[in-house]
């Protein structure tokens, strides 16, 4: 008993000493603030000259780099839960086709030879499940829909074939083929929890803030050399897998890349994809390049040669062309050059004001 009493007495003393120290510190801080205030030292804005001193004196605040708040981001259903579905095998085949498209449908495809060797997954990361990695989170809930590019109602197979004919510079897949049905089944399963008509947060591609200037291919070349070339190579042709079933690093321009009708040929799509996902390893939570670098490297890559597609049937209503559709005619007075590289703000503003 006595021992216990002694112990709590010592604890009490300790507590009091601690409190005293705290009060002393507080008084000190208040005193210092008062002193600084009265002695005319500016506490409000740190001038550029002060910043070095401040940086050295204080612990740096954690850098906020995430492009969007992760709260509420769309997530794919748990892959293991797919076995509970009556068409589990079809869904699994669909995912396999998205991930390894070239092996089945590429230039040496085992099922059909209808596309250029890219995998859907090269652009729709993690089989179309990565937040802001051009995922398929919105597909089941938002198709069929009227698309201004075709001026028609498009269902999922039509949209998939858009990517075959443009992003994979190939031929369309038969609508009633096993492969088409499997890919549709996979996308419907991915989006099964998204309410009809809704585009979930993090679906698709990140919208990079617009620059006040045109994107600069010359500056973009330097970005490319420093940040991209190690994988995609100096000639932009990437590195093919030795067995011919696609690429370790996919090509970014030239004969084997996406054609001039593809989504990535629009600067905002390319910049948004890259800003949140490249160099490999970047995510929207940990992006690795700046807005400017993303726009400029997009300008560099899309200034180089690639297959062209006849786009005569696109955009039957030219006033619906997006700001960065790089081919005229347009309903506004801006040039093809400006629609390709920007500056985009004047185009967006003119449209908003109904010109
Ligand atoms: C070279 C890059 C690339 C490849 C390869 C590619 N796509 Fe796409 N895909 C895009 C881009 C860019 C978009 C438009 C995204 C946007 O504007 O938000 C898109 C859009 C889509 C959409 C519509 C998504 C939506 O929410 O509206 C579907 C479905 C789709 N792709 C399926 C496929 C399939 C299936 C394949 C493989 C056969 C494929 N894509 C290959 C780049 C690509
Ligand atoms: C460390 C290697 C690496 C670096 C560095 C890298 N990438 Fe990629 N990139 C890849 C891989 C791998 C893929 C395909 C991803 C997949 O299939 O999961 C890819 C895909 C792409 C795609 C879509 C597919 C295509 O061929 O069109 C684009 C566009 C792209 N990268 C642009 C860039 C840009 C721009 C940079 C520099 C800012 C860059 N990448 C840096 C490895 C890299």
* 197-218 per-position pLDDT tens digit: 999 999 999 999 999 999 999 9
Contact call for residues 116 and 106 (beta carbons, < 8 A): yes
Q: What CATH architecture applies to the domain 79-190?
A: Orthogonal Bundle (1.10)
Dihedral of the CA atoms 131, 136, 139, 142 (nearest 10)? 20
Beta-bridge mates of residue 220:
none
Beta-bridge mates of residue 247:
240
Residue nearest to atom 12 of ligand 2 (CA): 249
- What pLDDT is recorded for position 65? 86
Contact call for residues 297 and 223 (beta carbons, < 8 A): yes
pLDDT of 60 strictly over 80: no
Within 8 A by CB and 6+ apart from 265, the residues are: 258, 259, 302, 306, 326
Ligand 1 center from residue 319 Cα (angstroms):
23
Say yes or no: CB of residue 289 within 6 Å of ligand 2.
Answer: yes
217-350 has the same fold as 79-190? yes
* Domain spans in the chain, listed from the N-terminal domain onward: 79-190, 217-350
- What pLDDT is recorded for position 197? 97
Ramachandran angles phi, psi of 33, nearest 5°: -60, -45
Query: CA-CA distances (angstroms) from residue 125 to 3, 27, 95, 135, 352?
Result: 66, 56, 12, 7, 33
Say yes or no: CB of residue 262 within 6 Å of ligand 2.
Answer: no
Question: Considering only the top CATH level, what class is 217-350?
Answer: mainly alpha
Its pTM stands at 0.86
- Please tell me what DSSP assigns to residue 263: G
Whole-angstrom distance, CA of residue 188 vs CA of residue 194:
10
pLDDT of 40 strictly over 80: no
Residue nearest to atom 27 of ligand 2 (CA): 252
């Amino acid at each position: 008993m006595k021992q216990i009493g002694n112990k709590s007495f010592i604890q009490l003393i300790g507590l009091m000493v601690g409190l005293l120290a705290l009060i002393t510190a507080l008084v000190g801080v208040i005193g210092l603030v008062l002193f600084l205030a009265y002695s005319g030292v500016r506490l409000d804005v740190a001038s550029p000259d002060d910043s070095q001193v401040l940086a050295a004196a204080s612990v740096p605040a954690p850098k906020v780099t995430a492009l969007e708040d992760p709260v509420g981001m769309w997530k794919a259903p748990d892959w293991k839960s797919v076995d509970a579905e009556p068409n589990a095998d079809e869904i699994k085949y669909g995912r396999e086709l998205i991930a390894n498209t070239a092996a089945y449908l590429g230039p040496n495809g085992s099922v059909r030879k209808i596309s250029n060797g890219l995998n859907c997954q090269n652009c729709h990361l993690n089989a179309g499940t990565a937040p802001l990695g051009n995922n398929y989170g919105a597909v089941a809930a938002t198709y069929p829909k009227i698309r201004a590019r075709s001026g028609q109602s498009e269902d999922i197979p039509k949209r998939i074939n858009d990517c075959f004919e443009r992003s994979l510079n190939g031929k369309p897949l038969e609508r009633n083929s096993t492969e088409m049905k499997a890919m549709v089944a996979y996308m419907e399963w991915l989006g099964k929890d998204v309410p009809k008509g809704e585009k979930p947060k993090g679906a698709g591609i990140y919208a990079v803030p617009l620059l006040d200037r045109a994107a600069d291919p010359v500056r973009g070349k330097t970005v490319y050399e420093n940040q991209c070339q190690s994988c995609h190579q100096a000639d932009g042709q990437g590195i093919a897998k030795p067995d011919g079933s696609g690429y370790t690093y996919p090509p970014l321009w030239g004969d084997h890349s996406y054609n001039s009708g593809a989504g990535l040929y629009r600067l905002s799509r390319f910049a948004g994809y890259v800003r949140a996902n490249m160099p490999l390893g970047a995510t929207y939570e940990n992006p690795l390049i700046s807005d400017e670098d993303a726009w400029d490297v997009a300008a560099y890559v899309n200034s180089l040669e690639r297959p062209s597609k006849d786009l005569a049937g696109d955009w039957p209503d030219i006033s619906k062309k997006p700001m960065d559709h790089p081919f005229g005619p347009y309903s506004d007075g801006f040039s093809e050059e400006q629609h390709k590289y920007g500056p985009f703000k004047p185009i967006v503003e003119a449209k908003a004001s109904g010109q």
